[in-house]
Amino acid sequence: METRRDVFQAIADPTRRAILSLVFLQAMTPGAIADNFDSARQTISKHIQILAECELLQQTQTGREIYYHINAKKMKEVADFIEPFRKMWDERFNKLEAVMKKYKTKK
């Protein structure tokens, strides 16, 4: 089985984050995206490809043009990745509170 690209690795790159914030506002063609950067069109195209592979970007075809837009569902998934970490601590602290409340009444 081929391993898919790591979505966190994808958003770790500043150029790719800049691309995401651009298309967040409106769907754009690869050319229009590249116009916002000094890098070669090929470089930007590669970044777009990685974002599309990770499903952070989706494309739609309008006539001859391909437009990229953000995949809100996938973005939310990534934004929520911190939630399990928070929950782990929350549960740990709940336990601390319960243990100490019991300790208090025993005193």
Partner 1 sequence: MERKTKIDAQEGRQDLFITREFELPVDLLFKAYVEADLVEQWMTTKVVKMESKKHGSYQFESTDYKGNRFGMNGAIHDIIPNKKITRTFEMEGTPYGIQLEVYQFEELTDDTSKLTMHVIYESGEQRDEVLKLPFAQGINMAHQRLEDTFKKSK
Binding site for partner 1 (CB under 8 A): 8, 12, 81-90, 92-101, 103-104
Measured CA to CA, the distance from residue 68 to residue 46 in angstroms comes to 14
Residue 63 or 84 with smaller CB distance to partner 1: 84
Measured CA to CA, the distance from residue 49 to residue 68 in angstroms comes to 10
Measured CA to CA, the distance from residue 28 to residue 65 in angstroms comes to 10
Minimum CB–partner distance for residue 23 and partner 1 (Å)? 18
Minimum CB–partner distance for residue 69 and partner 1 (Å)? 22
Residue 62 or 103 with smaller CB distance to partner 1: 103
CA dihedral 19, 22, 26, 27 (to 10 degrees): -20
Minimum CB–partner distance for residue 25 and partner 1 (Å)? 19
